[in-house]
Amino acid sequence: MRAETSSRAPLPPGVFLRAEGLVKKFGDFVAVNGVTFDVPRGKVFGFLGPNGSGKSTTIRMLAGLLNPTSGTARGFDGLDVTDTERWKSRLGYMSQKFSLYLDLTVEENLRFFGRVYGLAGPRLDERIRELSGTLRFERLKDTLTESLSTGMRQRVALAAALLHEPLLLFLDEPTGGVDPKGRRLFWELIYDLAAEKGMTVLVTTHYMDEAEQCDELAFILNGDLIAHGEPHALKRGISGRLLEVDLESAPFEALAAVRGAAPLEDAYLFGLRLRVLAREGRVDDALSLVSRLGTPAVAEPSLEDVFVDLARGYAERKAAAQPPTRMVTT
Amino acid sequence: MIEARGLEKRFGAHAALRGVDLRIAEGELFALIGPDGAGKTTFFRLVAGLLTPTAGTLRRAEGATFGLVPQRFSLYEDLTVDENLDLRARLYSVPSAEARARAAELLRRVGMAPFGARLAGALSGGMKQKLALVAALLTKPRLLLLDEPTTGVDPVSRREFWLVLNELHHEGLTIVVSTPYMDEAEYATRLGFLDEGKLLAVGTRDEVLAAFPRPILEVLSPDRNGVRRRLAGIDAVDDVSLFGTRLHLRGAAGTGTEILDSVRAGLTGLVPADGVRLVPPTLEDVFVLAGDEVET
Ligand SMILES: Nc1ncnc2c1ncn2[C@@H]1O[C@H](COP(=O)(O)OP(=O)(O)OP(=O)(O)O)[C@@H](O)[C@H]1O
Ligand SMILES: [Mg+2]
């Protein structure tokens, strides 16, 4: 039933994966509300949204691990997600929940996952050797997984997802709990996979500096896809002007002094920095308001600002019962 | 509130803490930062009395009630959100009317109000973490120990969570929190940088940053990869990271102005001179440098 509803024309060459009206209901609860988007070939695609917005559920449907209530996915140059075995053999998936066996060594874990993917013998040996080199954990092959740092465990989990040489990689919050240095290294690896191996990567993250590194982004909220585009295009779509003040101390007091003021759409802290979004046409008022706290400078909006802005628009449109999607094109 | 002297903890051959001296006063909001595996979780477990020191001493203020949110919080997955919170309130003898009102308020603030009747096992990853936070904040202990509480929590909810923490701090709670987010560490009254079981730096953010030994530069350019390739040929720069359209550079040694000149020279034709400037270091720089020095 699912397949007939999708259009059968081949995907454009630049598109590697297409989600077509994916819906997932758990009982009466709609976790994913008919999302449609394209993931470009060989790019790093970021999937962002608040907790519980439906990111993991969407990924599990795209990875062929969860049956959609309706809708489908197409990709890999001519496959449909309902062709489950072939579909799954071409993708790698790293779940949000840690999936390695803590009581096995790194190499034992990789051998186990290799066999799950049907690899064995010299081919498996070679893949393990290659990946422990590229992902830089060679010297730890005989270490118990339990004693690895979070960053290192995530690299081993990435290796496990790459053993069978997938063309598409789903990474669900791969850097949760990883320290700043480990996160940077992990992102260099993701980049290399896309740039050098031509792999298509779909990744979720709550770190906005990581989102910034993606070629394209989709935002999801309450199971609705609310925007899709390149980071700089999404930023251009923001209404109002962002101002930033460096504070010496007492950040929360500074925030309390301006929060809710009429010229401001939003006010929040980023460490000892106060950031405010001035409403359109109220920039001068906003400037004089925050100048009392320090010297304001005009700042580039972050993707967090974009998200907050989109979420506000979404709430307003929901109230006016209009269709929820706004596409940003470049 | 907490006093550690020569605190050591070994697990077999592995030394998780290797002589930590630290005093955290009543009413502080203290942040512990450091790479994973640095010993932060071990420190929390020692403070909570879940482990005993191998050597040295650890004292907690007499009779101080405390709450701990461990890194991996165990919820009853077969109970609903509300039932989990009720149970927690009863375990800590919080009067039920008070607990219910407080739970409702906290759930609302982190965007969980509609999900009281959902089984904890059916929550998303970040929602589970939020439930753990609400559970910890339900009881108002004198000392709150939070081990990476905001991992997996979305940015807007993180803002709200820190507003709540700040209120509790103002009410007089002592809070010790570890975090991989350097912006969160800046909210602390003092912070400690733990690495391989040792406290490498303790102080206010300004004190820690003042001790940073390297110059930091920022380059603005839409052609990040072009800049990156050029920089690879400049020995005076030993680390480059990307932040949107900005590149963040660390000087190998020497004075800031020398490095500024050589980077400007190295990027002529690609970036105008005013696109390269010296900037103050951040806590992330402290973090990354410590890691690099350990590795080599
Ligand atoms: N088995 C289930 N039964 C009922 N509800 C579920 C089930 N699995 C997920 N949900 C709900 O679906 C919604 C979306 O969950 P999902 O895990 O996709 O969120 P997410 O965007 O990945 O969030 P996070 O950022 O916290 O990981 C949540 O409200 C969650 O509670
Ligand atoms: Mg998720």
Q: What is the CATH number of the domain that holds B201?
A: 3.40.50.300
Note the pLDDT tens digit of each residue in B136-162: 888 878 899 999 999 889 998 899 889
Q: Which ipTM was obtained for this model?
A: 0.88
Judgement on whether residues B152 and B264 belong to the same structural domain of the protein: no
Judgement on whether residues B59 and B199 belong to the same structural domain of the protein: yes
Q: Given pLDDT bands bounded at 50, 70 and 90, which one contains residue A330?
A: very low
Greater model confidence, B62 or A305: A305
Whether B26 maps to a domain, the answer reads yes
Judgement on whether residues B22 and B165 belong to the same structural domain of the protein: yes
pLDDT at B115: 94
Judgement on whether residues B64 and B189 belong to the same structural domain of the protein: yes
pLDDT at A327: 52
pLDDT at A240: 84
Q: Given pLDDT bands bounded at 50, 70 and 90, which one contains residue A316?
A: confident
B294: pLDDT strictly greater than 80: no
Mean pLDDT, residues A89-104 taken together: 90
Whether B59 maps to a domain, the answer reads yes
Judgement on whether residues B146 and B261 belong to the same structural domain of the protein: no
Residue identified by tokens 């105008």 is B272
Mean pLDDT, residues A3-19 taken together: 78
**Model pTM score:** 0.90
B107: pLDDT strictly greater than 50: yes
Could you tell me which residues come within 8 angstroms of residue A236 by beta carbon, excluding any fewer than 6 positions away? Answer: none
B122: nearest CB among A26, A49, A212: A26
A150: pLDDT strictly greater than 90: no
Chain A environment of B244 (Cβ under 8 Å):
209, 212, 231, 300
Judgement on whether residues B174 and B238 belong to the same structural domain of the protein: no
Shortest CA distance from B115: residue in chain A: A52
Judgement on whether residues B184 and B243 belong to the same structural domain of the protein: no
Structure tokens at A191: 């980049």
Structure tokens at A165: 């040489």
Judgement on whether residues B6 and B137 belong to the same structural domain of the protein: yes
Whether B200 maps to a domain, the answer reads yes
pLDDT at B85: 93
Is residue B284 less than 8 Å (CB to CB) from chain A?
Answer: yes
Judgement on whether residues B172 and B242 belong to the same structural domain of the protein: no
B171, B188, B209: which is the final residue of a domain?
A: B209
pLDDT at B101: 93
Q: Given pLDDT bands bounded at 50, 70 and 90, which one contains residue B244?
A: low
Note the pLDDT tens digit of each residue in A204-224: 999 998 998 899 999 999 999
pLDDT at A4: 45
| Coil, strand or helix at B145 | strand
Mean pLDDT, residues B66-74 taken together: 75
pLDDT at B188: 95
pLDDT at A320: 80
Q: Given pLDDT bands bounded at 50, 70 and 90, which one contains residue B293?
A: low
B77: pLDDT strictly greater than 60: yes
The DSSP symbol for A162 reads H
Mean pLDDT, residues A21-49 taken together: 96
Task: Among A68-77, B71-80, B142-151, B202-211, name the one with the lowest average pLDDT.
Answer: B71-80
Greater model confidence, A46 or B230: A46
Whether B293 maps to a domain, the answer reads no
Q: Percentage of chain B surpassing pLDDT 90?
A: 49
B209, B227, B257: which is the final residue of a domain?
A: B209
Using CB atoms within 10 A of its CB, is residue A275 exposed (0-12), middle (13-18) or buried (19+)? buried
Question: What's the gap in Å between the CA of B262 and the closest CA on chain A?
Answer: 26
DSSP B59-112: EE-TT--EEEE-SSPPP-TTSBHHHHHHHHHHHTT--HHHHHHHHHHHHHHTT-
- Mean per-residue pLDDT over chain B, rounded: 88
Judgement on whether residues B187 and B50 belong to the same structural domain of the protein: yes
Structure tokens at B192: 């400690």
Judgement on whether residues B147 and B231 belong to the same structural domain of the protein: no
Give dist(CA B189, CA B249) in Å, integer: 28
Bridge partner list, A246: A273
Judgement on whether residues B40 and B185 belong to the same structural domain of the protein: yes
B114 lines ligand 1 (CB under 6 A): no
Mean pLDDT, residues A123-130 taken together: 94
Mean pLDDT, residues A163-182 taken together: 92
Whether B7 maps to a domain, the answer reads yes
Ligand 2 centroid vs A95 CA: distance in angstroms? 9
Chain B environment of A242 (Cβ under 8 Å):
none
Give dist(CA A92, CA A162) in Å, integer: 6
Q: Percentage of chain A surpassing pLDDT 70?
A: 95
Whether B89 maps to a domain, the answer reads yes
- Mean per-residue pLDDT over chain A, rounded: 90
B209, B236, B254: which is the final residue of a domain?
A: B209
Among the listed residues B111, B135, B139, the one whose alpha carbon sits nearest the alpha carbon of residue B124? B111
Greater model confidence, A5 or B209: B209
Task: Among A67-76, A93-102, A119-128, A220-229, name the one with the lowest average pLDDT.
Answer: A93-102
Whether B294 maps to a domain, the answer reads no
Q: Given pLDDT bands bounded at 50, 70 and 90, which one contains residue B73?
A: low
The DSSP symbol for B119 reads B
A68: pLDDT strictly greater than 90: yes
Number of domains in chain B: 2
Whether B47 maps to a domain, the answer reads yes
Looking only at the bridges linking them, the beta strands covering A200-204 and A44-48 are parallel
Helix, strand, coil share of chain B (percent; to 5): 40, 30, 35
Between chains, do B156 and A304 touch, taking CB under 8 Å as contact? yes
Give the domain CATH number at B261: 3.30.70.100
A52: nearest CB among B124, B156, B245: B124
Note the pLDDT tens digit of each residue in B165-209: 999 899 999 999 999 999 999 999 999 999 999 999 999 999 999
Question: What's the gap in Å between the CA of A80 and the closest CA on chain B?
Answer: 27
pLDDT at A328: 53
Domain around B252: 213-280
Give dist(CA B53, CA B42) in Å, integer: 10
